[in-house]
Homo-oligomer: A and B are copies of this chain.
Amino acid sequence: MPAPLISRDEVVERLLTVFQRLGYDGASLAELSRGTGLGKSSLYHYFPNGKEEMALAVLRRAHAWIEQVVVAELEGQGSPKERLERMLRALDSFYAGGKNACVLGNLVVGGARQLYQRQLRSAFSTWVEGLESLALDAGISRRTARERAEDVVLQVQGALVLSGGLDDPTPFRRMLRKVPKEFLAPE
């Protein structure tokens, strides 16, 4: 039995980019096949439950990425400002400067919403809680910390929608500069 040409993680990564572009309902098996370079049968070998399982794997991958990259940066070395800016740089790169959409945001739409509400909630919560911890580290009061944490995620998501709608990455880039000032402002 020949070793797979690409790892399962790599497959999930590629599936993610398809769901990110097209959303759940828009991501046909044909596109998922094209995007991964695997035939449909191979996809079903990896994911016996089909598309539903693929999206689930993608959401788990997104959650892991939030934990291992986003939150990890927030909990890393340096001042709160430096840590926040490292997280924003990771987002900037992941979202290609505002040209890509957010998988989570795109999976909140349509058929996927009901199917994956728990996973979505969990992923967003992890992200918010990571930011909340950072705010507390920065000496922000407990109540304000939660609000500012939610505000960051809210502004990232909103910037992606607006930049997508205007077909112009400017709002996203401006958001990246604005967020640190607001997040760390004295109360």
Interface residues of A (CB under 8 A from B): 21-27, 101-102, 104-106, 108-111, 113, 117, 120-121, 123-125, 147, 150-151, 153-159, 161-162, 164-167, 171, 174-175, 178
Given contacts A101-B109, A111-B22, contact A154 B167 (CB under 8 A): no
Q: Measured between alpha carbons, how far is A113 from B150 in the docked complex, in Å?
A: 27
Q: Secondary structure at chain A's binding surface: helix, strand, loop or mixed?
A: helix
Closest 4 CB pairs of A and B: A158-B158, A26-B110, A25-B25, A154-B158
Q: Is the CB of B174 within 8 A of A150?
A: yes
A124 touches which of B104, B110, B166, B175 (Cβ 8 Å): B166
Given contacts A155-B158, A157-B158, contact A165 B25 (CB under 8 A): no
Residue ID in chain B nearest A27 by CB atoms: B110
Q: Is the CB of A174 within 8 A of B157?
A: no
Given contacts A153-B162, A161-B157, contact A23 B175 (CB under 8 A): no
Q: Measured between alpha carbons, how far is A24 from B106 in the docked complex, in Å?
A: 12
Residue ID in chain B nearest A112 by CB atoms: B26
Interfacial chain B residues near A25, Cβ < 8 Å:
22-23, 25-26, 110
Q: Measured between alpha carbons, how far is A133 from B25 in the docked complex, in Å?
A: 38
Q: Measured between alpha carbons, how far is A100 from B12 in the docked complex, in Å?
A: 30
Given contacts A157-B157, A175-B154, contact A23 B162 (CB under 8 A): no
